[in-house]
Structure 1
């Protein structure tokens, strides 16, 4: 009789575990649906309700292997977002090192390009046409991916955080042509070849080569941030500085500082400013 009761208990525990796993899977799918539904509702009902996106549930991030190095954890974290990891020493690897922090974003509502380089205006426009965009409150034609804009709107509702220009679209999502125009402003005709060959890297903290800017992805914005409270609020809403020495540049990662460490990003301090950079 005791053996029979013990078997019943074991069966009940097994069923409970199985039910829990199934329920957990259903919740994950619902979280994805919730993000998509909030974006759609946001766009339909108007700007004032879009801040709900900033706190929308997302798929829980997988816990990386603690024994792995920062580089191993980073590469594992970006595998789902980047179709092919560039070979070390290649131009694409140089770009991934400089601008690849954004690929750790785990938010199901955020879209990232499948490569680190968009070769021309057509490729850029094709990618941007897949994005759900949202206007940043109080700006003139400044749009970001919906989750990024909602998180920024939430931060700016808590603290005064002006755009670098004060209002303009140039601080936000850019076209390939705009990226190229900024590049030509700071680089000469030999600079791109020098970057490709790995002989010039300092300029990557000033301006992104054509087709490589995080601004093309709708996940970056230039801001005027001058005191710790602004940085704290931005960080709490998933916004971080990710390009070393590019002070105005902020990227939406949608994660906490602990998540960034878990996924292998390094906290690099330059002149008192914390940048979250790749470990490559």
Structure 2
């Protein structure tokens, strides 16, 4: 758990912390946020992983998570359904990947709010030049004022991505899936330990390695939004 005064880490844990209760033989990251690329890479290389080519895309996950995914894909095939990765960043990501994805939200967002007179050119330039940790804090402060940084600028940035070094994809326990809109696919994935854990991040699934009925006892709460079930930390 983060320190009581570390509101940024607590905010990230509230939005993306379900991965830290993953069960089975998987390994959870040692911290909520990796602060640099070297520390992230050093941890990732020590984790047991399995790599498969799925639908022409290389997918790397922790071994147990991959085995569960393959079992879910096999069940889906028997039901004439598909479960496929959503692009080359669908599974494992390194620290630099998370920086790039963050920038794809923040840089357009700063320009958007500047055009609308909500940010001065000076403030936008200052925030662009900040180190990742300081930039994350500034962006979350702006969002508390109603200036959102999701792709369409209508909701919090953490609903469609994470801060640099804090993505569940770093843990190699997360996968973005093309067929996320099909309820039958979501049901199959849940039977094999894969759940949606980031509210409104529609393609995103997390391997928790247990059954749905056991999730509340792990400290997760059920949120239903637009017909989808998400599991997120109950208390922070």
TM-score range, shorter chain: 0.7 to 0.9
Q: Which deviates more, 140-149 or 233-242?
A: 140-149
**How many residues are matched?**
193
C-alpha displacement at 1:85, in angstroms? 4.0
* Counterpart selection for 2:106 from 187, 196, 207: 187
* Distance in 2 of aligned mates of 1:240 and 1:206: 16
Q: Which has the higher strand share?
A: 2
**What per-residue deviation string (whole Å, max 9, x for no partner) do you get for residues 192-242 of structure 1?**
233454726711011111000000110101002222211111000000000
Larger RCO: 1 or 2 (CA < 8 Å, sep 6+): 2
* Counterpart selection for 1:173 from 70, 81, 92: 92
Q: Is the 8 A contact 1:164 1:171 kept in 2?
A: yes
Alignment correspondent of 1:45: none
Structure 1: gaps (5+ residues): 1-83
Computing the radius of gyration from Cα coordinates, the structure with the larger value is 1
C-alpha displacement at 1:258, in angstroms? 1.1
* TM-score when normalising by structure 1: 0.65
Structure 2: gaps (5+ residues): 77-81, 108-123, 128-134, 149-154
Would you say 1:214 and 2:137 are equivalent positions? no
Q: Which has the higher helix share?
A: 1
Q: Is the 8 A contact 2:40 2:95 kept in 1?
A: yes
C-alpha displacement at 1:264, in angstroms? 2.3
Alignment correspondent of 1:102: 19
Alignment correspondent of 1:149: 66
C-alpha displacement at 1:249, in angstroms? 0.6
Q: Cα RMSD over matched residues? A: 1.9
Q: Is the 8 A contact 1:136 1:152 kept in 2?
A: no
* Counterpart selection for 2:28 from 112, 120, 125: 112
**What per-residue deviation string (whole Å, max 9, x for no partner) do you get for residues 111-143 of structure 1?**
111210001110110110111111235343210
* TM-score when normalising by structure 2: 0.76
* Distance in 1 of aligned mates of 2:68 and 2:230: 19
Secondary structure of the 2:137 match is: helix
* Counterpart selection for 2:204 from 249, 252, 269: 249
Q: Runs of 4 or more off by more than 6 Å in structure 1? A: none
